Amino acid sequence: MNCPNDQVLSAFCDGELPPVEMAQVRTHLQGCAVCSDVVRAIESASTMLRTAEWSNVSQEMLDRWSTAKTAVQDRSLRRFVGSLTGIAASVLIVASFARQQTSDASSPTIGEWEQIALAGEDEGDSSHVAATFMAADLSMRRADASSREGDRP
Amino acid sequence: MAEQPRDSELLERLAKGDESSFREIVQRHGRYLFTIARSLTNTDADAEDVVQEVFMALLKARFRGESSLRTFLVSILMRQAALVRRKHKPWMRLADSEEGVIEAQQSATVRSEEPAVNAKIDLADLLKQLSPEHREVVILRELEGLTYDEIAKSLAIARGTVESRLHRAREALQQIATRMKPK
């Protein structure tokens, strides 16, 4: 076997070659000082990493990280309260809108014809007067509605 | 001496609401995570924040035991560190660039001139001398012991890319080791 390239030797060190190739490289290494040196260098780089010192951490820092749980709980609670507030606000808006709609429908302003009709009761022929104004009022409302239709884009 | 509970036991206790188990996980893995975070961010403050985010994520994430807890935490950390790097892009450009690596190498060379007895190598400083891509594969392979396929999946890169990056990272590490050898 010719000398394998360094990438293959690197994969060999990690045991990541197919079994046949692993065996071939192992045999090759027994008779090749150059490749054996490469493998040793790879292994010593691994050792350097595994034996390097970890950075120091103060107890205060560890304590701060330990309170992460409380922070998460606080955050979740805040989010929950925020959602509740949002829902409550939406319900309030919808309710007040619905109330406005209902009050518009149930208590319309007293039409002019109604007022005259009521006033006419005292004067005698009230039904005729009321009917006249009712017709006038209805035609005005129709005209309003059709002009609103016309304003729409 | 009482035997230390395993990570899986601590997680079970944590799921049942045991506060002390979380503290124990932090004590056990905090220092290592901070070291890795220092190697992936520019300032210690950023590293501290990243580790904080990792522990917060542990509380929200569902650990399924497919790897060791430490490896799971490291993979969260890598994503968090990448977010921080993206957030501080102008800052990080130096650390991620050739000049940043050279700067880290120079600072490590100064350290190596100290007497051999004091010449302890700091893992974060060592990793900082590698490019970000090389750092990631080295951490996952050399420190976490992941297979090439697992690294490829974790970093969303091809297995061949893992092989070549790891090979180049090792070449760089060998050069660093040569430079750091006490004369």
Domain ranges for chain A, please list them. Answer: 6-51, 109-148
Q: What is the pLDDT of residue B70?
A: 94
Helices (H) and strands (E) in chain A, counts: 7, 0
Q: What is the pLDDT of residue B115?
A: 37
Mean pLDDT of B134-156: 95
Contacts of A100 (CB under 8 A, 6+ apart): none
Distance CA(B10)–CA(B30), nearest Å, equals 15
- Delimit the domains of chain B by residue range: 1-88, 97-183
Q: Which residue has the higher pLDDT, B97 or A44?
A: A44
- Which percentage of chain B shows pLDDT scores above 70? 80
- Which percentage of chain B shows pLDDT scores above 90? 53
Q: Is B34 on the interface with A (CB under 8 A)?
A: yes
B7-44 confidence digits (pLDDT tens) = 888 888 888 888 889 999 999 999 999 999 999 998 99
Distance CA(B36)–CA(B40), nearest Å, equals 6
CATH class of B97-183: mainly alpha
Mean pLDDT of A36-60: 92
Mean pLDDT of A38-54: 92
Q: What is the pLDDT of residue A151?
A: 63
Q: Are B177 and A45 within 8 A, CB to CB?
A: yes
Q: What is the pLDDT of residue B116?
A: 38
Mean pLDDT of A59-68: 89
Place A115 in a pLDDT band, splitting at 50, 70 and 90: low
Q: Which residue has the higher pLDDT, A56 or A114?
A: A56
Q: Is A10 on the interface with B (CB under 8 A)?
A: yes
Q: Which residue has the higher pLDDT, A16 or A108?
A: A16
**ipTM of the complex in this document:** 0.76
Mean pLDDT of B120-149: 93
Could you say which architecture CATH assigns to the domain B1-88? Orthogonal Bundle (1.10)
Matching residue, tokens 């000049």: B99
Joined tokens for residue A132: 């006249």
Q: Are A10 and B34 within 8 A, CB to CB?
A: no
Task: Say if residue A50 is exposed, middle or buried (CB neighbours under 10 Å; 0-12, 13-18, 19+).
Answer: exposed
Beta strands in chain A (DSSP E): none
Mean pLDDT of A30-44: 93
pLDDT at A70 over 80: no
Q: Average per-residue pLDDT in chain B?
A: 83
Question: Which residues from B are below 8 Å from A62, CB to CB?
Answer: 26-27, 30
Q: What is the pLDDT of residue B148?
A: 96
A73-113 confidence digits (pLDDT tens) = 666 677 777 888 888 888 888 888 888 777 655 555 556 65
Q: Which residue has the higher pLDDT, A36 or B15?
A: A36
Q: What residue type is A57 in one-letter code?
A: V
Highest mean pLDDT among A122-136, A138-152, B49-63: B49-63
Listed by number, the residues of chain A in 69-128 with a beta carbon closer than 8 Å to a beta carbon of chain B are: 69, 71-72
Alpha-carbon distance A48 to nearest alpha carbon in chain B (angstroms)? 8
- Size of the A and B interface in Cβ pairs below 8 Å: 98
Question: Which residues from A are below 8 Å from B60, CB to CB?
Answer: 72
Dihedral over Cα of B76, B78, B80, B83: its sign = negative
